[in-house]
Amino acid sequence: MTSSPKPLPDQWTINLHPVANLTILTLLDDAGVQREIGFSPLTPPGTTDRTVGALSEIADPGLRASAQKLISTFYERTARAQANADAFGAAVPDQRHLFDRLRSVVPGCLIELDVDDETLAVILKMTATGSAAGALLSLVARWPGSITADGQADGITQDLDGGDLTMRLDHAHADDFLTWFRSQP
């Protein structure tokens, strides 16, 4: 069963930018922010750098198919990111409580959830400054999932910028860390 092509969202556009023998297609939202990029090989003769508000404005069937693929990819990636966010929410339904508790253990800790642009998975980002940075580092170091025999576990990064420590945990590690933290006194 095939599904019908997804429409270009209202007020969104596609920028067509021919370069040598390919065309770069950029999906732009209603504020002009880039949402997805794709390519079409073998730019048809006469293709000009322009922005279109509807697929029907693209005369060449191959270029129009590439634009449709760009739109479909955007919808697929959005659905995958939403599914990952929903799965994280189901795995950690008490995240608000856990974040409040984490802030009480690491005062001033800024806690954010984000989505990785490549994997579309949830990322837990925790940032602390000064002595709170030490408390955050100590807390994460106590968690058994933070290290392996080879050092820091894959999927966990730490950045020290001035006095700010930022810890990023990928989806699986964030879930594991919060599950472990839930059981701590």
Residue that wins the pLDDT comparison between 145 and 39: 39
The domain total for the chain is 2
Q: What is the pLDDT of residue 2?
A: 54
Question: Do 122 and 53 belong to one domain?
Answer: no
Range of the domain at 49: 13-83
Torsion over CA: 174, 176, 179, 181 (sign): negative
Task: Tell me, yes or no, whether 5 lies in a domain.
Answer: no
Question: Do 42 and 101 belong to one domain?
Answer: no
Both structure tokens of 22? 């390919």
Distance CA 38, CA 14 (A): 10
Q: What is the pLDDT of residues 97-113, one digit of tens each?
A: 999 999 999 999 999 99
For residue 76, give the H/E element and its range: helix 61-91
Question: Do 77 and 98 belong to one domain?
Answer: no
Lowest mean pLDDT among 19-23, 68-72, 75-79, 111-115: 19-23
Going by DSSP bridges, is the β-strand pair 164-169/156-161 parallel, antiparallel, or unpaired? antiparallel
Q: What is the pLDDT of residues 103-159, one digit of tens each?
A: 999 999 999 999 999 999 999 999 999 889 999 999 998 998 887 667 777 889 999
Question: Do 69 and 138 belong to one domain?
Answer: no
Note the pTM of the prediction, 2 decimals.
0.80
Task: Tell me, yes or no, whether 19 lies in a domain.
Answer: yes
Strands (E), 13-145: 13-19, 22-28, 34-41, 50-52, 110-115, 122-129
